[in-house]
Chain A
Amino acid sequence: QKEVEQNSGPLSVPEGAIASLNCTYSDRGSQSFFWYRQYSGKSPELIMSIYSNGDKEDGRFTAQLNKASQYVSLLIRDSQPSDSATYLCAVNIIGTGFQKLVFGTGTRLLVSP
């Protein structure tokens, strides 16, 4: 079982719709969870971090965490064509004493105008 799993997509949504991206992880003791966005040919950039159960909102983005189900999600409201990218879920591996992130394979999002 992979440590961090994501559906590779592509996930296609029309402009203005809500895009829902999902991620599951295997290490029940993980404490820190992140969403990175990666445009084609570019480097990943952090867009959301979440550490406790529940929702965390930042503009059009909402991260949701359910530690009991080992599940993290990212909602993008009012999706724009500029949101088209690969979204990487990352989990910090506990016990390492530093930010050793394990990434999923990423979900490719396509927002059509």
Chain B
Amino acid sequence: GAGVSQTPSNKVTEKGKYVELRCDPISGHTALYWYRQSLGQGPEFLIYFQGTGAADDSGLPNDRFFAVRPEGSVSTLKIQRTERGDSAVYLCASSLRAKGTGELFFGEGSRLTVL
């Protein structure tokens, strides 16, 4: 596709449920990032993939959060036992390579609301 695609754009769930958020990066981009943005805040780093492997997952808040990128393209962010504090916009970004100009291309985000 032309840009980073994220689905769903909106997800409302109940506390304790499991959710999956999907990211389809720009074709050919090897680096993929997940960020989380709460209202009135800047994006907060969660995890970075170079190819299929999670090169840095230091931003994942706890073990309820997990992300995969099995074929080095599409990535899925998985959240178990959701809590109200997980409500935020989850942004996916990709870049052509890990080191470069710092131009991360962001998707439009998945807005997660936990009731």
Contacts and interface: CB of A to CB of B under 8 A. Distances in A.
Interface stretch (B13-21, B40-48, B68-76, B80-88): B40-48
Interface residues of A, number: 24
A17 interface: no
A95 to B, nearest CB: 11
Given A97-B99, A98-B50, A105 B42 contact: yes
B1 interface: no
Contact of B106 (A32, A34, A43, A100): A43
A8 interface: yes
B55 A103 contact: no
Interface in B31-69: 31, 33, 35, 40-45, 48, 50, 55-56
Given A88-B43, A103-B42, 13 more contacts: A8-B40, A45-B106, A46-B103, A49-B101, A98-B50, A98-B98, A99-B31, A99-B99, A99-B104, A100-B56, A102-B45, A104-B42, A106-B41
Interface of B: 31, 33, 35, 40-45, 48, 50, 55-56, 91, 95, 98-104, 106-109
